[in-house]
């Protein structure tokens, strides 16, 4: 009987644990950690006692993620039909390739109220969606703040018209790769979103100087502007970027018409933290030096492939940006010919990329230019190791780099 009593006592203790303690702990965890649908199902399998707690924890049901999943359109419909998803705030359908206009139309018809609190919608890579689907979903989302539809050639200016008509709170817009959006669509964005903070126009090849200028004159709160792979813009538009006094991130990769004069105007953006000038082939030391003098908060700068830039610009960067800059890409700069002075070398050693570990003596064994040209490969490997307590691993990485550098040293010295 004592054994039976002990067993019964243990059972009651376990029951209290499952019904009271676990739900209390879970409620605390759920308020701070995002959990996917898979995680929720797993928790329900652990203990049926968690069911009530899970349902009562509203933050758990404010996000729906079907990224890269099959049958995502029907799954989304099924989820939105459940009462617990009546106030969803975030939906991610990125690369859910089966989602199409028909799904969004049915959502409008049957789940209209469930999307009234939606704040962010990610339709990246959903290539079966057209302006028709955008019209349907936009009409349900009056509180939408972030909208992303990267890599969709079926969405054009009409789709943006539906967005601006129905979604008045947009501050983050990604239409990267939407090649059928033109100046008309961009003008709609400029006219309706003066408080826009982030805009990605990557590969929107129908947008011209006129469209970009309208944005720069009206969207003065922009902090992030991505103009990657847009080679048709000219200095006429680039010179207006200075109007964006809050700009922190600017990607001009492939800006073939950007000159030193245009870059000089951009240097007035004092808050720039990240600047990508990859393949801006008309830029020279003169333009980069104005950036060094004006943008003293830079942490990332890419000069990849700019043959008109020499080591002179490094000296300017060492004087103005040494306390901030952490990543400098100088791959492909064939005009680094003369010896870099001690102040520039000190800048790289003391401030670039890995901070304390870069002060290790192994640095003295590495040719300066080779370190720069391979710095990304080291960084990628270093990120896998981590930043704290891995000096031995870092030494190994630098030795590997040293071997790589020395193999190329003879060819480099002939430049």
Position 27 pLDDT exceeds 70: no
Given this model, what pLDDT does residue 334 score?
72
Instruction: Flag the least confident range among 83-97, 230-244, 288-302, 320-334.
Output: 320-334
Q: What is the CATH number of domain 62-222?
A: 3.80.10.10
**172 φ, ψ (degrees, to nearest 5):** -135, 115
Full 3-state SS string of 313-368: HHHHHHHHCCCCCCEEECCCCCECCCCCCHHHHHHHHHHCCCHHHHHCHHHHHCCH
* pTM score over 0.85: no
> What distance, in Å, lies between the first and last C-alpha atoms of the chain?
92
The residues spanned by each domain of the chain are: 9-58, 62-222, 353-415
Confirm if 18 and 47 have CB atoms less than 8 A apart. Answer: yes
257-283 residue pLDDT tens: 999 999 999 999 999 999 999 999 999
Report pLDDT for 109.
Answer: 97
- 389: Cβ contacts below 8 Å, ≥ 6 apart: none
What does the pLDDT read at residue 272? 97
């Amino acid at each position: 009987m004592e054994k039976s009593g002990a067993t019964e006592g243990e059972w009651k203790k376990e029951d209290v644990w499952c019904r009271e303690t676990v739900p209390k702990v879970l409620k605390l965890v759920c308020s701070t950690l995002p959990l996917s649908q898979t995680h929720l199902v797993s928790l329900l399998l652990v203990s049926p006692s968690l069911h009530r707690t899970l349902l009562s924890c509203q933050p758990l049901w404010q996000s729906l993620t079907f990224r890269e999943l099959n049958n995502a359109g029907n799954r989304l419909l099924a989820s939105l039909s459940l009462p617990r998803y009546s106030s969803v705030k975030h939906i991610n359908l990125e690369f859910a390739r089966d989602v199409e206009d028909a799904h969004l139309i049915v959502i409008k018809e049957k789940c209209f109220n469930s999307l009234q609190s939606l704040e962010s919608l990610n339709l990246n890579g959903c290539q079966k969606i057209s302006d028709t689907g955008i019209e349907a979903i936009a009409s349900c989302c009056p509180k939408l703040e972030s909208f992303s539809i990267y890599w969709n050639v079926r969405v054009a200016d009409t789709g943006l018209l539906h967005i601006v008509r129905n979604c008045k709170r947009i501050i983050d817009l990604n239409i990267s790769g939407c090649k059928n959006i033109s100046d008309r669509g961009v003008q709609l964005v400029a006219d309706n979103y003066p408080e826009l903070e982030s805009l990605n126009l990557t590969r929107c090849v129908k947008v011209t100087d006129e469209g970009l200028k309208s944005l720069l004159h009206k969207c003065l709160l922009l902090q992030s502007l991505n103009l990657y792979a847009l080679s048709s813009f000219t200095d006429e538009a680039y010179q207006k970027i200075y109007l964006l006094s809050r700009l922190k991130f600017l990607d001009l990769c492939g800006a073939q018409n950007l000159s030193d004069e245009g870059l000089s105007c951009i240097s007035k953006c004092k808050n720039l933290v990240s600047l990508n000038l990859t393949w801006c082939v008309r830029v020279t030391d003169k333009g980069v030096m104005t950036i060094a003098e004006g943008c003293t908060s830079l942490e990332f700068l890419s000069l990849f492939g700019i043959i008109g830039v020499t080591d002179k610009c490094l000296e300017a960067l060492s004087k103005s940006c040494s306390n901030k800059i952490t990543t400098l890409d100088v791959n492909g700069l064939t005009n680094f010919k003369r010896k870099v002075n001690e102040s520039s070398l000190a800048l790289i050693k003391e401030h670039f990329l890995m901070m304390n570990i870069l002060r290790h003596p192994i640095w003295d064994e590495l040719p300066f230019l080779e370190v720069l040209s391979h710095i990304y490969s080291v960084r990628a490997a270093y990120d896998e190791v981590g930043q704290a307590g891995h000096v031995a691993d870092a030494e190994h990485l630098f030795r590997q780099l040293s071997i790589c550098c020395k193999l190329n040293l003879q060819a480099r010295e002939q430049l």
